[in-house]
Chains A and B, each alone.
Chain A
Amino acid sequence: MGKYYQQEIETASRDQIITRQSELLVKQVRHAWDNLPYYRGKMEEKGVCPEDINGIDDLKKLPFITKNDLRLAYPYGFRAVPESECVRIQSTSGTTGKRVIAFYTQSDVDLWEECCARAIVAAGGTKEDVVHVSYGYGLFTGGMGLHGGSHKVGCLTLPMSSGNTERQLQFMEDLGSTILCCTPSYAQYLSEAINEKGIKNRLRLKAGIFGAEPWSEEMRRDIEAGLGIRAYDIYGLTELSGPGVAFECSQQTGMHINEDHFIAEIIDPDTEEVLPYGRKGELVFTSITKKAFPLIRYRTRDICVLNDEKCPCGRTHVKMSKPMGRSDDMLIVKGVNVFPSQIETVLLELGYSSNYQIVVDRVNLTDTIEVRVEMNANNFSDDLGMITKMENKVLQALRAMLGIGAKVSLVAPKSIQRSEGKAVRVIDRRKI
């Protein structure tokens, strides 16, 4: 195996790519029309039918799908094949309100794993490698995706999952892991632990594939120096398959989108107008090969730039920049998607006012989230024990809603700063 996993596809000419995308798009739109009443409704509302879609130039005629659509259609509304054809589900880290359950046929799983295999090979992986997967396994796509990709390449795969750092280091040393797959913040954490224990020279690590949360170039340099490896970015969404929608090559200047499976567009998030390559906007994906969960023009809310300049690595697929932000208010904390509205729901249910503030920070390489709530007459009494009990109730409800622990701070009324009469809801102090 050389530097590509599927050379013919990864280095196809632009014409070949566009032709393939056009053919698959026409089929996918027909598939969605026939099998997704929800999306068919959206198409009818826009006055579009499958006959109007003859190629990629017609893509812009189609309606968008948003996370809200997925929520409204939960859980089966976007499943386009009978359950008997499905072999797997994965789910986003959200909560009941925002959770998305994605279905996969066997072919969907295979194609997803091929995408991950491309990422591993682009990071220098061959069947001689030992791939150490420290993404979480389970509903989260990180673990399962890279695991499958590693199998496809033929690497020895270590299904470590996240946590238990001692054990991670022991396996890394004893089994000679060469490629580490995890979130960048966990990589940083492992790097510190390795250097503290002074075992770096006993390890064989050469590369890392890191994603599922935002990270900076500075963090990349940190990790590369700390672990003595090259660190590659990987991008994906459960809604589309999981990690491997796009991945970095040896150039480390953006992530090649697997355009034989996904058509990427950049739009102005406000006007929904399609923007040319090079312009910054919201990334929109159409999955053209997925059978069980075919999303057309799915708005990712990630803000980035597409670049179709020729890449020295030889791959011809368009590259996307690291996401530069979000067009909604979603936060990613410890790899988990957090919406301020979820926090607001909890607070209002427990009788607190909607004057709250979310402070996100990164302390000792770990994300922290603090929710500041203004005390009000409803929840105040002269009994400190009662207040502490109420505080714990908020703590537990937030944990149940978000899936991660948040610190709760009760603050004095009207102490949360307001700008132009509107509260500043989120303070993100992380330097990423």
Chain B
Amino acid sequence: MITKQISVFLENKSGELARVAGLLSENGINLRALDIAQTSSYGIIRFVSDRQTDAARILSENDYVLHVSEVFAVKVPDRPGGLSGLLDILAENEINVEYMYSSFSITDMDVAMIIRVPDVQKFEKLIEGNSEYSITNL
């Protein structure tokens, strides 16, 4: 299953991120994973929440430029080697990761890694055929 991720353009100024978080909070939307990539003057926040369709609508209504992309949330055990095992599998199969970040914990034992890859189908097939890792939703 594919996870819809929202990316939003922000200027790199104080208060910009607070405004987005505030809008989501006012509307009772709960963040499940969040990542920030930035230059000195602007940045992108990428996030997954419990109500992505609503989040996208609310941000658009407030004049944000956003982009919805398809990513995977892969359940990873919260212990040493949990992530490296997953990355080894991807490397062996020559799957390049465009970007990746961690979700907030999904259970006491696990987190999810949010992963963006170029070849969605190949990735999905690979993980589905693997017993240690599984694609989850947030």
A interface residues, Cβ below 8 angstroms from B: 375-377, 380-384, 387-388, 409-415
Task: Indicate the member of A382, A384, A411 with the most B CB atoms within 10 Å.
Answer: A382
Point out the residues of chain B lying under 8 angstroms from A383, CB to CB.
98
Contact present for A382 and B63 (CB under 8 Å): no
Partner of A410, one of B41, B63, B67, B116: B41
14 contacts between A and B (CB under 8 A): A375-B9, A375-B42, A377-B65, A377-B66, A377-B67, A381-B67, A382-B46, A384-B37, A387-B9, A411-B11, A412-B16, A412-B64, A413-B9, A413-B64
Asked if B10 CB lies within 8 Å of chain A CBs, one says yes
CB proximity to A under 8 Å, residues B31-75: 37-39, 41-44, 46, 63-67, 69
B7 and A382 contact, CB distance less than 8 A: yes
A384 to B38, CA, bound (A): 7
B69 touches A382 (CB 8 A): yes
**Residue pair B7, A381 in contact (C-beta under 8 Å):** yes
CB atoms of B65 and A380 under 8 A apart: yes
**Which residue of B38, B39, B65 contacts A375 across the interface (Cβ within 8 Å)?**
B65
Is there contact, CB below 8 Å, between A413 and B63? yes
Whether A410 and B66, one on each chain, are in contact in the complex, defined by CB atoms closer than 8 angstroms, is: no
Per-position contact with A for B89-131: 1 when CB-CB < 8 Å, else 0? 0000000001000000000000000001000000000000000
- How many angstroms between the C-alpha atoms of A388 and B43 in the bound complex? 10
Which A residues are in CB contact (< 8 Å) with B98?
383
Q: Are A382 and B44 in contact (CB under 8 A)?
A: yes
Closest A residue to B16 by beta carbon equals: A412
Provide the residues of chain A in CB contact with B66, threshold 8 Å. 377, 380
- B13-45 near A? 1/0 per residue, CB < 8 Å: 000100000000000000000000111011110
The reply to whether B39 and A388 contact each other, CB–CB distance below 8 Å, is yes
Contact B11 A412 (CB under 8 A): yes
The answer to whether the Cβ of B5 comes within 8 Å of any Cβ in the partner chain is: yes
A384 to B5, CA, bound (A): 15
Whether the Cβ atoms of A380 and B63 lie closer than 8 Å is: no
Which residues from A are CB-within-8-Å of B67?
Answer: 377, 380-382
CA distance A381 to B44 in the complex (A): 9
Contact of B44 among A376, A387, A414, A415 (CB under 8 A): A387
**B residues within 8 A CB of A382?**
5, 7, 44, 46, 67, 69, 116
Contacts of A415 in B (CB 8 A): 11
**Shortest CB–CB separation between residue A118 and chain B, in angstroms?**
50
Distance between A259 CB and nearest chain B CB, rounded to angstroms: 52
* Given A377-B65, A413-B63, A384:B44 Cβ within 8 A: yes
Which partner residue on chain A sits nearest B46 by CB separation? Answer: A382
**Complex Cα distance A376/B63, Å?**
10
Q: What separation, in Å, do the CA atoms of A60 and B10 have in the docked complex?
A: 56
- B65:A384 contact, CB within 8 angstroms: no
Our pick among B5, B7, B10, B46 for the contact of A412 (Cβ within 8 Å) is B10
Query: When chains A and B are docked, how far (Å) is the Cα of A383 from the Cα of B63?
Result: 20
CA distance A380 to B44 in the complex (A): 10
Given A377-B65, A380-B66, 5 extra CB contacts under 8 A: A375-B42, A380-B9, A381-B67, A410-B11, A413-B9
Given contacts A375-B9, A380-B9, A382-B7, contact A409 B41 (CB under 8 A): yes
Expressed in whole angstroms, the minimum distance between the Cβ of B49 and any Cβ of chain A is 15
Question: Known: A376-B65, A377-B65. Is A384-B9 also a contact (CB below 8 A)?
Answer: no
Chain B residues whose C-beta falls within 8 Å of the C-beta of A377 in the assembled complex: 65-67
Kindly state the separation between the CA atoms of A77 and B42 in the bound complex, as whole angstroms. 47
Give A361 to B11 CA distance when docked, in angstroms. Answer: 21
For residue A382, which residue of chain B has the nearest CB? B7
Q: Which residue of A lies closest to B9 (CB)?
A: A375
Residues of A within 8 A of B39 (CB): 384, 388
The 7 lowest CB-CB distance pairs between A and B, nearest first, are: A382-B7, A384-B37, A375-B9, A414-B63, A380-B65, A382-B69, A375-B65
Closest partner residue, chain B, to A388 (CB atom):
B39
B5 contacts which chain A residues (CB < 8 A)?
A: 382
How distant is the Cα of A381 from the Cα of B67 in the complex, in angstroms?
6
Report Cα–Cα, A388/B16, bound state, in Å.
Answer: 20
Give A384 to B10 CA distance when docked, in angstroms: 12
Residues on A with beta carbons closer than 8 Å to the beta carbon of B44: 382, 384, 387
Report the Cα distance A341→B14, complex, angstroms.
33
B7, closest chain A residue (CB):
A382
Task: Kindly list chain B residues whose C-beta atoms are within 8 Å of the C-beta of A375.
Answer: 9, 42, 65
The residue of chain B having its C-beta at the shortest distance from the C-beta of A411 within the complex is: B11
In the bound complex, CA of A376 to CA of B38 (Å): 17
Which B residues lie within 8 Å of A381 (CB)?
7, 67
How far apart are the CA atoms of A382 and B67 in the complex, in Å?
A: 7
Hey, which chain B residues are within 8 Å of A410, CB to CB?
A: 9, 11, 41-42
Please name all residues of chain A whose beta carbon is closer than 8 Å to the beta carbon of B16 when the two chains form the complex.
412
C-alpha spacing A119/B89, complex, angstroms: 78
B-side contacts of A388, CB under 8 Å: 39
Determine the residue in chain A with the shortest Cβ distance to B43.
A384
Q: Given the complex, which residues of B lie within 8 Å of A414, measured CB to CB?
A: 63
Find chain B residues with CB under 8 A from A376 CB.
65
Q: How far apart are the CA atoms of A383 and B42 in the complex, in Å?
A: 13
Chain A residues whose C-beta falls within 8 Å of the C-beta of B65 in the assembled complex: 375-377, 380, 412-413
